[in-house]
């Protein structure tokens, strides 16, 4: 590595990035500030960024509003299972789309995109009906009759999200960028397609799996509408459902909501920071060399 003088465009770039970052962060800063105020101060017409007195008690109060350890546990389980399985399914399908030609490939691929184009509001009801008639679960018989199926179950929060068109598409695009030399080298070795995937592609997929993992984690953790519809009992609540506890008939306890929001966001931030180094690990070259 040779030392070099930092060129001017990069200095300009730094300032622009810093400015954008601060602007992006400002609303969150206000969230933190609100979480430390009293309700009277939140509603007061004069605004202060730094609260009059720091109400750390808000955080304790927010967590006392429900069975939060259980909500976190539920969200953690649901998110980790969804993310792990969907990473495997999506990368496998993306790999297949990107690297092989087979009859029906085009149709199957475009069909994937169609699923993204219809808003949730319309597909909600048929999906819910399928959940309630899910065979062999929740007291249902093999034809899906007699019980409540996957309604009010954590499994019902996982299954529909295991295969996201988004993930399949992203993995496909990523693998399209891989040099084809890898495949050729592997086929000389006589590696089967499965081994090609598991031994060469997966080890080189750090950036895409990290990016997809972070986005999928965020999405699952923050999912609100589906759990709201599917879950009825407090013991199955996710963190996002827990956040509804601060809405009352006559307004919202904003300070507590903001405090809880920050605690709910923290795990996501940790995951993001942990995954960061994988986004930026040079990949393909090492794949070629290896």
Q: How far is CA 123 from CA 128, 159, 218, 223, in A?
A: 9, 15, 22, 16
Chain CA centroid to CA 242, Å: 18
Residues 141-180 that bind another protein (CB under 8 A): 147-148, 150-155, 158-160, 162-166, 168-170, 173-174, 176-178
Smallest distance, Å, CB 56 to another protein? 19
Q: For another protein, give the closer residue by CB, 185 or 268.
A: 268
DSSP calls for 189-247: HT--HHHIIIIIIGGG-HHHHHHHHHHHHHHHHH--HHHHHH--SGGG--HHHHGGGGE
> What tokens does 159 get?
């299954």
Among 101, 143, 188, 289, indicate the residue that binds another protein (CB under 8 A). 101
Smallest distance, Å, CB 52 to another protein? 14
Residues 40-69 that bind another protein (CB under 8 A): 40, 43-45, 47, 65-66
Among 60, 73, 84, 181, indicate the residue that binds another protein (CB under 8 A). 84
* Cα–Cα distance, 260 to 5 (Å, whole number): 46
Smallest distance, Å, CB 54 to another protein? 18
Each residue 182-211 as x (binds another protein by CB under 8 A) or -, in order, gives: ----------xxx--xxx--xx--xxx-xx
Residue 61 near residue 261 (C-beta atoms within 8 A):
no
CA dihedral over 240, 246, 249, 251, signed as positive or negative:
negative
Among 50, 107, 122, 142, indicate the residue that binds another protein (CB under 8 A). 122
> What tokens does 116 get?
């993204």
Among 52, 115, 141, 184, indicate the residue that binds another protein (CB under 8 A). 115
> What tokens does 86 get?
């969907």
* Cα–Cα distance, 84 to 76 (Å, whole number): 12
Smallest distance, Å, CB 55 to another protein? 13
Residues 213-232 that bind another protein (CB under 8 A): 214-215, 218, 222, 224-225, 228-229, 232
Residue 167 near residue 94 (C-beta atoms within 8 A):
yes
The residues near 183 (Cβ < 8 Å, ≥ 6 apart) are 99, 196
Among 117, 142, 143, 188, indicate the residue that binds another protein (CB under 8 A). 117
Count of residues near another protein by CB under 8 A: 151
Q: Where are the alpha helices (DSSP H) in 133-180?
A: 155-158, 165-176
Each residue 230-269 as x (binds another protein by CB under 8 A) or -, in order, gives: --xx------x--xxxxxxxxxxxx--xx--x--xx--xx
Smallest distance, Å, CB 189 to another protein? 16
Interaction between residue 290 and another protein (CB under 8 A)? no
Among 18, 60, 73, 181, indicate the residue that binds another protein (CB under 8 A). 18
* Cα–Cα distance, 74 to 111 (Å, whole number): 33
Smallest distance, Å, CB 114 to another protein? 7
């Amino acid at each position: 590595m040779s030392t070099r003088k930092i060129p001017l465009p990069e200095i300009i770039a730094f300032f622009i990035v810093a400015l954008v970052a601060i602007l992006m962060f400002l609303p969150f800063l206000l969230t933190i500030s609100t979480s430390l105020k009293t309700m009277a101060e939140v509603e007061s017409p004069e605004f202060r960024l730094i609260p009059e007195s720091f109400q750390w008690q808000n955080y304790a109060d927010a967590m006392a509003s429900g069975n939060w350890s259980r909500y976190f546990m539920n969200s953690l389980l649901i998110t980790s299972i969804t993310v792990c399985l969907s990473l495997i399914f999506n990368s496998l399908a993306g790999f297949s789309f990107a690297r092989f030609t087979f009859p029906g490939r085009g149709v199957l691929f475009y069909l994937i995109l169609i699923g993204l184009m219809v808003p949730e509001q319309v597909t909600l009801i048929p999906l819910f009906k399928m959940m309630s008639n899910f065979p062999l679960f929740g007291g249902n018989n093999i034809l899906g009759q007699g019980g409540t199926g996957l309604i009010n179950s954590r499994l019902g929060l996982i299954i529909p999200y295991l295969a996201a068109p988004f993930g399949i598409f992203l993995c496909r695009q990523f693998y399209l960028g891989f040099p084809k030399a890898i495949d050729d080298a592997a086929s000389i070795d006589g590696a089967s397609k499965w081994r090609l995937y598991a031994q060469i592609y997966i080890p080189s997929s750090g950036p895409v799996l990290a990016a997809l993992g972070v986005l999928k984690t965020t999405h699952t953790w923050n999912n609100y509408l589906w759990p709201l519809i599917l879950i009825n009992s407090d013991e199955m609540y996710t963190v996002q459902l827990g956040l509804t506890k601060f809405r009352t008939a006559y307004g919202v306890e904003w300070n507590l909501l903001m405090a809880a929001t920050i605690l709910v966001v923290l795990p996501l931030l940790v995951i993001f920071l942990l995954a960061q180094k994988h986004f930026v690990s040079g990949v393909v070259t090492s794949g070629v060399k290896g």
